[in-house]
Each structure stands twice: as C-alpha cells, then as structure tokens.
A = this chain, B = another copy of it.
Amino acid sequence: MLNKLKYLLIGSPLPNDMLTEKRLNKVRALAAFSPDALSSVAYANQEIFLGLVVAGAAGLTFQFPIALGITLLLGIVALSYAQTIRGYPSGGGSYIVARENLGTYPGLVAGAALLLDYILTAAVSLTAGVAAISSAFPELWPHRVWIALGLLVVIAMLNMRGLRESGTVMSAPVYLFLVTFGGMLVYGIYRAILQGTPTPLVLAAPAAVAPLSLFLIMHAFSAGCTALTGIEAISNGVQTFKPIEWVNARKTLIVMAVIMAFLFAGSIGLTQFFGIVSETGETILSALARHLFGRGVLYYIVQFSTLAVLAVAANTSYAGFPRVAAILAQDKFMPRQLFNVGDRLVFHNGIILLSAATAVLIVVFSGDPHALVPLFAVGAFTAFTLSQAGMVVHWFRQKDAGWQLKSVINGLGALVTLFALLVIGVSKFLEGAWISVLVIPGVVYIFLKIRQHYGSISSQLTMHGLPPSLRPLPRPRVVIPVSGVHRGMIDSVNFARSISDRVTAVFVDVDPGPDEDELRRRWNNWFPDTEFVVVPSPYRSLVEPLLTFLEQTDKAHNDGQQATLVLPELIPASSWHEILHNQSAEEIKKALLYQRRHKGLQRIIIDVPYHLEK
C-alpha cells in the first residue's frame, strides 16, 4: 500500500545499470544548474536597492557602480571556476578541491559552507519567488510561509523522481524567464535610448534617513554579492554532463556567466536610469516591470516567470546538496545513509535532509527573504575562497602547460572572494551573518565526530587478532514469559523445546489471587515437561519482575550463559487492533534493548508469532 503510493509519486525503481544513462545535454544542464545564479537578480537587486535607498537619491546613484563592481567580481569568479572544471573533469566541488589541495580541515570548512549555502539558496529562492508574486497580488503575502512550503514539497517530490525528469520540468520556466526578462531589458534599453537622458533620481527618491557613508556602500555591495551564489553549481556536477564532460561544462558555465552579467547589470542600470523606486510591499524588479509595461499582461507574465525561475532555482540546491552530502558520507564525515542511492537512482536521504532544513528556515524566518539574505553570502563566499585557493595549490603541484596563468587567475579569484567575504562578514555581522559564522565550525565539529565514530566502529569489528577457529556455543537455556494458558503459547513452547532441554515458563502475577494454583494445574496439564514459575509483581509492572527473574536465574545456573528469551507475540489481524492489546512483548523488548545498550547485556531474543484472525 505505502509502497504503491510511493511509486505513484516518485516512479518505479530503476535498476543499477541505468546509472550512467542519466546524463544531461547542455540545454538541459543549463536549466538544471543555472537558475540559482540567473535568478539571483530577483533578490540581489532588491537588497542593493534597500541598502542604498536609506541614503535617498545620493545613495541610489551608487546602484549601477555597485552592480558593475559585482559584475566584475562575477567575471573573475567565473573564469576561476572554468579553471576548476578543467582541473577536475570528474567533478570538483569546493569540498574536493579544498580537501585535496589544502588539507582536511579547510576541505571540511568548504563542505560545511557549501551545504549551508545550498540550504539557504533553496530558502531564499522560494521566499523571494513568493515575494515576486506577492508584488503582483498583495493578498498572497500573509500566506507566504504556506505557499513557499507548498512549492518546496513539489520540488522535493520532483527530485525524488530523478534528475532528468526534473531537468525536463524545470527547463520551461528557465527559458521562459530568459525570454521574458531578457526581452524586457532589451525593450527597456530601447526606451532608454529614445529618452536619451536619465530621469533625475531626486524626483522620485524618498528623503534620506541616513547619511551616505562608506559603510553604507559596503553594506549594499555585500548584500548584492548574493548575486554570485550558485555560480559554482556546474563545477560540482561536471560528471552529469554528456561526454566530453569538462568541455561541455565549461561552455555552459561561460554562457551562464554572460547571461547573468547581462540580466544583473542591465536591470540595475535601467532601474537607475529611469529613477525607479518601489512602493511598500513591492520588489524593485516589480517596480521596473511596472514602469516599462504598466499593469498589463506583460507585467504579470514577468512577475510569474520570476516566481517560476526562483522556484526552479531552489532546484539547483537539489542538484548540488545531495551530491556533496554523498561525497562527505563516502568519506565518512556524514551518516552513510546519505550515500545510499534510492529506488530512482537519486540520493534520496540527501533530498529529504535538504527539504527539512529548508522548511525550518522558511518557517523560522517567516518566509521573508530580506531576513534570510544576511545569512546567505557567508557560506557561498567561504566556499569560493577555499576552492580558488585550493586551485592555486593544485596548479603549483601539477605544473602542466600554462600553469602560471591558471594559478594567477585562480589566485585573483581567491583574493577578490576573500575580500568580499570580509566585507560581508563585517557589514552584515549583526544582521544574521553571525549565525553562519557560528554554524560552519559547528558543522565541521560534527563531521569530525562522525568520522571518529566510524573509525572506532571499524576497528572494533575487524577480525584481525582473533583465534583462527571459532567454536559454536552450547545449547541455550530458554525462558518464556507467558500471559496464561492459551493457544498463543503453544508455538513458543514447542519452538523452545526444539532448541533447548532447559525451558522455563514465567508468569508475572500483577493481580495476586487464589487462581494461581489453578493456573499452574492447567499449565502442567498441557505442558508437563516445561517448568512453570510464578513471579509476584507488587508494583503491577510486567517488565521489572521479569528482568529480575532473568538475572537471578542466570546467577543460579552459573553456566556462563545468559538465558535466551522466547517471546510469544500475538499478531492482531490489523494494525488498528494493536491498540486493543497490552503489547507486553513490545514493552519487554524495549526494556531489554535499553538494558542491552546501558548494561552491555548480550541476551538473545526470539520472537515467535501467533496469528489472530479478524
């Protein structure tokens, strides 16, 4: 039943040999890996605007210069990652690059930063998408948390079906966004040329409430740096491209970076040129679209495709997070379940973990992207810096053709991203960056503890140092807790007698009365060769007296054995009926499990079912 529902939702299982088939061509890969990067205009623009508008018209004149600075940064980082793709054709995420070249600790920091970044990408994209559509339909804003969670569920489900299926579904919104948003910018540039001179900002801008300061500009710059998040996605997923993987991946990266630069610088440039200021509850992109198209059909199409591409941007995280988690799990820094490939050849546990963490962020931050953004860029730029720095070491070690130029490019990338990271860390610290600054080392600590645990387990389980021959145990001594003389006991007694000559039935008497002798008589009548013991229970507990009896009988026999427990288990015909039974077997098992863990008990438990009909 449950399995049927699962297969209906995520599709039937796929065999192992389909693993290599699930590769993406460039068009699909762009749709799968780029939406985060492309769609970041939707929140980066907004953050730059909100950062500068407090200084009024004087502040807003810095929009385009800041955008150009970030675009330059984007170019450097993109070139730098193109080197990474060449150097790690089998797929070199920040974690692998940092780990191989800088050592375990920097690698783990990069890994933790990257995982955090993926989670925040999903949360920020979904909430920013809801903000975009709420600009068009303000009545949706109070329901933003539920809308974002609903979108999250849909995306998670699609990803459980497998990457290619989701690639298909996701392509449409990405290309729709490119056409509508790109088209809007082209039309906007045409209008700008017609108009000739920029609209003076002082006409529209609200009065300044803060002086224009260097800190304010740095603050806006660091908020805008979120535009770069997601640019590394392709380098993590090189092996999902069709062969020759690195060539196709690199081409896709370059195309993506050019489109990104056009969308970002273009939209901010037009915003400043037309002196656009958003109303309360509206995004700055919505204000730009409204200025160009009015509140017509085209305006709604732009808003809708912004929501769509942001929803899809969350999907970038689904392409990246489970993969990075699986690599960490393979290296034993995360629970090994994250490396399990599910029915549909996806890392399903990683998908579940990402979805849960994203849902928590959406709920805790009330679905407001502006509250989430300060946490955002720290993870991304930490990973950028470590990965670029790792590449510099890589080229120094490899020294293949042109290594000097390559290392200069990556070195420049490392330096500018480190600078950006410091700016972000300082200017956004109190607004939320401190959370990321605390979480990353915390996650690294957990990584190390997990690795240590697995190491300890594997040294405990090794067969080295054991004597060459192992001898079987003596036949077990058996105890059966019985609840009365009835058919449910027969199979248990018979099985116990088939494996042992020393079988004791124990009746725990929670309600002392005269019928104890009658019970004993009936027992001996049916099972004459099995010892019958009655244990009183003054506190009405079933479990405690049984455990005490087991300890005592082990001590009394003094044969170095712990008595094996045979548990007669009544199986009701339906799970609804379970609540009508006392479930003593479950209670006994739980208590023994607890004893096992905390007292090192070795007791073996044998579960003998007896089926009830109806």
- Give a binary string over A504-523; 1 marks a CB under 8 Å from any B CB, 0 the rest: 00000001100000000010
Task: Say yes or no: A13 contacts B579, CB within 8 Å.
Answer: no
A454 to B581, CA, bound (A): 9
**Partner of A539 from B16, B522, B571 at Cβ < 8 Å:** B16
Q: Which of B16, B499, B527 contacts A540 (CB 8 A)?
A: B16
Interface string of A534-578 (1 = CB under 8 A from B): 000011110000000000000000000000000000111111010
Flag if B597 contacts A573 (CB, 8 Å).
Answer: yes
Q: Which chain B residue lies CB-closest to A573?
A: B597
Given contacts A340-B582, A453-B580, A582-B336, contact A574 B597 (CB under 8 A): yes
In the assembled complex, the Cα of A457 lies from the Cα of B601 at a distance in Å of 35
Contact B604 A611 (CB under 8 A): no
Among residues of B, the one whose C-beta sits closest to the C-beta of A614 is B456
Question: Would you call A462 and B487 a contact (CB within 8 A)?
Answer: yes
Residues of B within 8 A of A461 (CB): 486-488
The reply to whether A611 and B582 form a contact with Cβ atoms under 8 Å apart is no
Of the stretches A57-65, A218-226, A313-321, A464-472, the one at the interface is: A464-472
Q: Is the CB of A13 within 8 A of B541?
A: yes
Interface flags, A323-358, vs B, CB<8A=1, else 0: 000000000000111001111000000000000000
- Determine if B607 and A602 form an interchain contact, defined as CB atoms under 8 angstroms apart: no
Contact string against B for A residues 468-506, beta-carbon threshold 8 Å, 1 for contact and 0 otherwise = 001111111000000001111011011101111000000
Chain B residues with Cβ below 8 Å from A495 are: 473, 476, 604
> A359-387 toward B: CB 8 Å interface, digit per residue (1/0)?
00000000000000000000000000000
Chain B residues whose CB sits within 8 angstroms of the CB of A575 once the complex forms: 597
Say whether A605 faces chain B, with CB atoms less than 8 Å apart: yes
A138 CB to nearest B CB, Å: 25
Among B475, B574, B611, B613, point to the contact of A596 (Cβ < 8 A).
Answer: B611
Question: Which of A14, A456, A497, A604 has the largest number of chain B CB atoms within 10 A?
Answer: A604
Tally of this chain's copies? 2
A526 within 8 A of B: yes
- Residue among A341, A450, A539, A572 having the largest count of chain B Cβ atoms under 10 Å: A539
Closest to A608 in B: B604
Q: Are B604 and A606 in contact (CB under 8 A)?
A: yes
B341 x A540 contact (CB < 8 A): yes
Contact of A538 among B15, B336, B470 (CB under 8 A): B15
| A26, CB-defined interface residue at 8 Å | no
Residues of chain B lying within 8 A (CB to CB) of residue A607: 604-607
Q: Shortest Cβ distance from A381 into chain B, in angstroms?
A: 31
Is A193 an interface residue when CB atoms closer than 8 A count as contact? no
A603 at the interface (CB under 8 A from B): yes
Query: Is A463 in contact with chain B by the CB < 8 A criterion?
Result: yes
A460 at the interface (CB under 8 A from B): yes
CB–CB A462/B486 < 8 A:
yes
Of all A-B residue pairs in the complex, the 7 with the closest CB atoms, nearest first, are A461-B486, A472-B497, A499-B499, A473-B498, A605-B607, A13-B539, A15-B538
18 A-B pairs in the complex with CB atoms less than 8 angstroms apart: A13-B539, A13-B541, A15-B538, A15-B539, A16-B512, A337-B579, A456-B613, A460-B612, A461-B487, A466-B490, A470-B494, A471-B494, A472-B494, A472-B498, A571-B593, A602-B609, A604-B607, A606-B607
- A340-B540, A463-B487, A600-B611 are known; give 17 further A-B pairs, CB within 8 A: A13-B539, A336-B581, A340-B582, A343-B540, A343-B541, A450-B580, A454-B580, A461-B486, A461-B487, A463-B486, A470-B494, A473-B497, A476-B499, A499-B499, A499-B500, A571-B597, A604-B606
